[in-house]
C-alpha cells in the first residue's frame, strides 16, 4: 500500500500511535526506576550521599527510556518478521557491547 492509498483510506499517521504510547509509559518508567534504585542503591553499598543517589536515578531513568525507544525501533524495523527482528536485535546488542566500554572475557574477570 502506498502513502497515497493510505491517505485515501484516512489512516492515522504513525506518530499518532507511538507518541501517546510513549507518554503513557513515562510515569511507569518513573515508578520502575524508583523501585529499582531503592532496592539496589544502599544494599550494594554505594555512597550514602543524596546527590549521587539522584544522579543514579537520573541515569537509570534515561537508560530505561533509551532501551524502550530501542525496542520500539527494532519492532518498527522488523514489522512482524521474527527473523529480521532477531537480526536487528542481535546487531543492536553487539553495538551496545562494542561501544559501551570494555568487554571482559570470563578468564580475565
Q: What is the pLDDT of residues 57-83, one digit of tens each?
A: 999 999 999 888 888 888 888 877 888
CA pseudo-torsion sign 77, 81, 82, 83: negative
Q: Does residue 6 register a pLDDT over 70?
A: no
C-alpha cell of residue 46: 554505594
C-alpha cell of residue 28: 511507569
Please state the pTM of the whole predicted model. 0.69
Amino acid at each position: 500500500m502506498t502513502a497515497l492509498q493510505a491517505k485515501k483510506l484516512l489512516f492515522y499517521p504513525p506518530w499518532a500511535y507511538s507518541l501517546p504510547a510513549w507518554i503513557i509509559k513515562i510515569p511507569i518508567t518513573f515508578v520502575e526506576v524508583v523501585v529499582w534504585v531503592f532496592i539496589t542503591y544502599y544494599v550494594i553499598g554505594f555512597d550514602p550521599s543524596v546527590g549521587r543517589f539522584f544522579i543514579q536515578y537520573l541515569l537509570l531513568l534515561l537508560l530505561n527510556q533509551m532501551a524502550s525507544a530501542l525496542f520500539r525501533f527494532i519492532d518498527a524495523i522488523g514489522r512482524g518478521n521474527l527473523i529480521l527482528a532477531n537480526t536487528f536485535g542481535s546487531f543492536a546488542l553487539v553495538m551496545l557491547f562494542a561501544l559501551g566500554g570494555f568487554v571482559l572475557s570470563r578468564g580475565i574477570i
